[in-house]
Structure 1
């Protein structure tokens, strides 16, 4: 873990953290404003698999892919998934660095707190696994496998749990940093 901390500390300049944070959120806004709506235009009001934090089952996937039709499934593969292959890397990197940056400000960039920086990395890896699962499902349609759906759904669940846990940790760290800043001003 010491090597992990050393690697992180090399990249903790405020400018670098801010640059990655902005880049990550530009890609995220693009997905929310362009690629997801473009794909959802074909979905008859159904949510895409990427947007179901509690997972899904074979019936849902079958209904969604039927609703999307051939053009919608192709749009999912060629518009949403490519952008979502960039985002997990940026999410993992920028939010790992962001949390490390704030932990360093609290003088807590040490074990066991450094392990918290792995939460966005876990989320990013799960997002990639989810994406590969979705690609497999889209390419397999209409011959969907229960096992493939359950596996992809499990990665969606891991992604949502680790992402939620990360944001809870980040909020707690920001609150602690706020208290530290207020107390420093009082003295």
Structure 2
């Protein structure tokens, strides 16, 4: 944990948080504009990665069967082996760095906050694990079975769940920070309007 904290200490400046935000969402934009529409149109549904609540064997078989050679190649590269390698890391970096900064400026430190800092990187790991499962299925390197679909689907759901937890934590601690700022501002205004009496001199 101390290694992660040392790392996040270097990545949690406002400038670096903005850079990781822009970089991650630029990659996301590239996916939404160029690769995902083509793949989704070909398979007639959302790609494995976007099946928020998971999928079963029949859905997995349908996706694989609807892929042609050209779309499979696009799915493999640049979607899975480039864009969906960069995006999970950049997003995890952004989310964890922002959480670290929010914890620091709200002076919040506990076991919960330590766990929350790890959550985005756990989501990243599940995203990569999901990608491996998808690659095995769409290249037909492995038979589409209950086991591989269950594993891949579970990774998809966990990835989404953990990412949502990170965003919710950011919202909660951002609200806490705003609350602290409002209280501090009110105190300053009260002090300015009602200065302490210096006493009467005779």
Q: TM-score scaled by structure 1?
A: 0.91
Deviation at 1:108, TM superposition (A): 1.4
Larger radius of gyration: 2
Cα distance in 1, alignment partners of residues 7 and 79 from structure 2: 32
Cα-Cα RMSD? 1.7
Assess if the C-alpha contact under 8 Å between 2:136 and 2:142 holds in 1. Answer: no
- CA-to-partner distance for each residue in 1:89-127, whole Å, 9 max, x for gaps? 111112110111111111115544122111111111110
Assess if the C-alpha contact under 8 Å between 1:8 and 1:97 holds in 2. Answer: yes
Q: Where in structure 2 are the equivalents of 1:109-124 lying within 5 Å?
A: 109-124=109-124
The answer to whether residue 67 in structure 2 is matched with residue 65 in structure 1 is: no
- Equivalent pairs, count: 186
Q: Where in structure 2 are the equivalents of 1:4-153 lying within 5 Å?
A: 4-44=4-44, 46-81=45-80, 82-140=82-140, 143-153=143-153
Assess if the C-alpha contact under 8 Å between 2:126 and 2:156 holds in 1. Answer: yes
Cα distance in 1, alignment partners of residues 30 and 185 from structure 2: 39
Structure 2 alignment gaps of length 5 or more: 188-202
Assess if the C-alpha contact under 8 Å between 2:95 and 2:167 holds in 1. Answer: no
Once the two structures are overlaid, the 10-residue window that deviates more, 7-16 or 79-88, is 7-16
After superposition, the Cα gap between the structure-2 partners of 1:72 and 1:142, relative to the gap in structure 1 and judged at 3 Å, is farther
Assess if the C-alpha contact under 8 Å between 1:88 and 1:124 holds in 2. Answer: yes
